[in-house]
Amino acid sequence: MNPVLSDLAAPIQATVSSFATSTSWQEATEELLRDSRNADSLLAVMLGSATGDATVDQLPAKVSRGLAVLKARISAYRDRYHVQ
């Protein structure tokens, strides 16, 4: 998705510092699942298989941001809970 999104929107970097500190692995897993669902929903809208609230002009940036947040969340989860 990065090549397509980079042509449509400026790349967005998410940092781990933007995340709330989870008190347990269960809470961290719920946050990861929430971000995954958000990215999935945005991709479905962008690919035309679902309807959404985002305007066409905003959609590539929202998808890019959603994927960046998910990627950062996965990285932070792996580091914190030593997941391979």
From CA 80, how far away is CA 74, in angstroms rounded? 10
Q: Per mean pLDDT, which of 24-28, 32-36, 47-51, 78-82 is the most reliable?
A: 32-36
Q: Where are the domains of the chain?
A: 31-84
Q: Per mean pLDDT, which of 26-30, 33-37, 75-79 is the most reliable?
A: 33-37
Tell me: pLDDT of 22 over 70: no
pLDDT tens readout for residues 41-66:
999 998 888 887 767 788 888 888 89
From CA 28, how far away is CA 44, in angstroms rounded? 24
**Relative orientation angle of helices 25-46 and 59-81, to the nearest 10 degrees:** 160
Mean pLDDT of the chain: 80
Residue pair 32/71 in contact (Cβ under 8 Å)? The answer is no
From CA 77, how far away is CA 52, in angstroms rounded? 29
